[in-house]
């Protein structure tokens, strides 16, 4: 039996016996190679669920949608490993109760996918630890390597060119499970921290501030990168920040539901290269 069928059967069972009120998963998109999120609330709709290697979006952000979990009923969600790490961060930051989440875990395996053992965040603890021991974040990304070899001025010019394309649509923010603030810093106008016009200074402010807010929290799901309508390679910033958090602070984002945020905690042996 395929994983898609197994998970459909499980979803039917959970919805029929009332164990969950909703299943957040994937269904066909507007073109054959696309998948889009779907919200299934009855057993009769379950056959709309699709699960294959085209299901790449991190769906965990929907769980922090206002009032979705406020009635304390459970929700099931399809998650890749990055999504499971997101659940840990959202739980550590008190944005959701992990006991209300039933996880349908899956990951790519060649051209196909395989199911992950476990149904809730706690049961995936060992799996996430194994990810941290063999992180996908790699210093060997060819574009990052190219950027690392540039002088500071050349790198600045590279990002200036990229950020000049930003139209301040905030799709990156909307797509990111970690960008859950009800009122984003960019929406404040008294005082106005970030200029909202899409010009060079404002674009730099927005993208750099967002990168800092995601430092040590980004799980590299790629939602922001895929959402950007002008193809700014946001993954490069996120990946570099993840490598930095790992190398400087031994911090792997989303390791557990009790992990302290890297920028809000202090260890005596933390690197202080920024002071020296
Ligand atoms: S910053 Fe981008 S890659 Fe990182 S968690 Fe948010 S959406 Fe995913
Ligand atoms: S999605 Fe792209 S264009 Fe839109 S605000 Fe983010 S970086 Fe700018």
Residues 199 and 152 grouped into a single domain: yes
- Out of 49-53, 182-186, 228-232, 268-272, pick the least confident: 268-272
Q: Encode pLDDT of 45-74 as tens digits.
A: 999 999 999 999 999 999 998 888 989 899
The residue whose C-alpha atom lies closest to atom 8 belonging to ligand 2 is: 166
Residue 177 Cα to ligand 1 middle (Å)? 7
Ligand 1 binding pocket mutation candidate from 209, 219, 226, 237 (most atoms within 8 A of CB): 219
- Out of 159-173, 193-207, 216-230, pick the least confident: 193-207
Q: What is the average per-residue pLDDT within 183-208?
A: 84
- End position of a domain, from candidates 104, 133, 162: 133
Residues 128 and 80 grouped into a single domain: yes
Residues 150 and 252 grouped into a single domain: yes
Residues 153 and 249 grouped into a single domain: yes
Cβ 237 under 6 angstroms from ligand 1: no
Burial pattern 95-108, b for ≥16 Cβ within 10 A else e, equals bbebebbbbbbbbe
- End position of a domain, from candidates 106, 133, 160: 133
Residues 6 or more apart whose Cβ sits within 8 Å of residue 196: 168, 186, 202
Residues 38 and 127 grouped into a single domain: yes
Residues 148 and 117 grouped into a single domain: no
Residues 172 and 240 grouped into a single domain: yes
Residue 272 within a domain = no
The pLDDT of residue 66 is: 80
Give the range with max mean pLDDT: 18-27, 137-146, 148-157: 18-27
Q: Encode pLDDT of 71-83 as tens digits.
A: 989 999 999 999 9
Output the ligand 2 site: residues, CB below 6 A. 166-172, 207, 227-230, 232
Residue 273 within a domain = no
Average pLDDT of every residue of the chain: 90
Q: Give the separation between CA 7 and CA 193, rounded to whole angstroms.
A: 45
Instruction: For tokens 């020296």, name the residue.
Output: 276
Q: Among positive and negative, which fits the CA dihedral 143, 144, 145, 146?
A: positive
Burial pattern 168-183, b for ≥16 Cβ within 10 A else e, equals bebbbbebbbbbbeee
**What is the number of domains present in the chain?**
2
The pLDDT of residue 93 is: 94
Residues 45 and 163 grouped into a single domain: no
Position in ligand 2 atom list of the atom nearest CA 175: 1
- End position of a domain, from candidates 94, 116, 133: 133
Residues 193 and 258 grouped into a single domain: yes
Q: Give the separation between CA 218 and CA 55, rounded to whole angstroms.
A: 19
Q: Encode pLDDT of 221-251 as tens digits.
A: 999 999 999 999 998 998 888 888 888 888 9
Position in ligand 2 atom list of the atom nearest CA 224: 1
What token pair was written down for 119? 């149904």
Residue 270 within a domain = no
Position in ligand 1 atom list of the atom nearest CA 227: 7
Q: Give the separation between CA 84 and CA 99, rounded to whole angstroms.
A: 13
Domain carrying residue 236: 142-264
Residues 194 and 216 grouped into a single domain: yes
Residues 150 and 105 grouped into a single domain: no
Cβ 214 under 6 angstroms from ligand 1: yes
Query: Taking the model in full, what pTM does it have?
Result: 0.91
Position in ligand 1 atom list of the atom nearest CA 234: 2
**Which ligand lies nearest the alpha carbon of 80?**
1
Residue 271 within a domain = no
Residue 93 within a domain = yes
Residue 274 within a domain = no
Indicate the burial class of 218 (C-beta count within 10 angstroms; 0-12, 13-18, 19 or more). Answer: buried
Residue 275 within a domain = no
Q: What is the number of residues in the chain? A: 276
Residue 186 Cα to ligand 2 middle (Å)? 12
Residues 6 or more apart whose Cβ sits within 8 Å of residue 150: 158
The residue whose C-alpha atom lies closest to atom 2 belonging to ligand 1 is: 224
Could you count the other beta carbons within 10 Å of the beta carbon of residue 138?
A: 10
Instruction: For tokens 């990055």, name the residue.
Output: 82
Residues 72 and 181 grouped into a single domain: no
Residue 60 within a domain = yes
């Amino acid at each position: 039996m395929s994983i898609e069928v197994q998970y459909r059967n499980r979803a039917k069972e959970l919805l029929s016996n009332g164990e969950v009120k909703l299943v957040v998963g994937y269904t066909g998109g507007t073109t054959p190679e696309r998948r889009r999120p779907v919200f299934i609330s009855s057993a009769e709709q379950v056959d709309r669920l699709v699960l294959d290697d085209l299901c790449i979006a991190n769906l965990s952000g929907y769980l922090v949608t206002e009032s979705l979990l406020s009635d304390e009923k459970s929700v099931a969600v399809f998650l890749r490993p990055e999504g499971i790490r997101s659940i840990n961060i959202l739980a550590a930051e008190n944005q959701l109760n992990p006991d209300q989440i039933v996880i349908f875990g899956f990951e790519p395996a060649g051209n196909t996918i395989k199911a992950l053992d476990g149904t809730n965040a706690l049961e995936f603890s060992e799996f996430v630890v194994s990810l941290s021991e063999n992180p996908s974040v790699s210093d060997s990304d060819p574009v990052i390597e190219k950027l690392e070899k540039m002088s500071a001025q050349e790198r600045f010019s590279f990002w200036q060119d990229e950020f000049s394309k930003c139209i301040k649509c905030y799709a990156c923010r909307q797509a990111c499970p970690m960008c859950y603030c009800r009122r984003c810093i960019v929406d404040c106008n008294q005082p106005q921290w970030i200029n909202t016009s899409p010009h060079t200074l404002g674009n730099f402010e927005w993208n750099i501030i967002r990168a800092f807010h995601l430092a040590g929290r980004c799980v590299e799901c790629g939602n922001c990168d895929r959402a950007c309508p002008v193809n700014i390679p946001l993954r490069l910033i996120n990946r570099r920040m993840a490598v930095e958090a790992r190398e400087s602070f031994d911090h792997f984002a989303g390791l557990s539901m009790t992990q302290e945020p890297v920028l809000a905690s202090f260890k005596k042996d933390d690197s202080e290269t920024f002071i020296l």
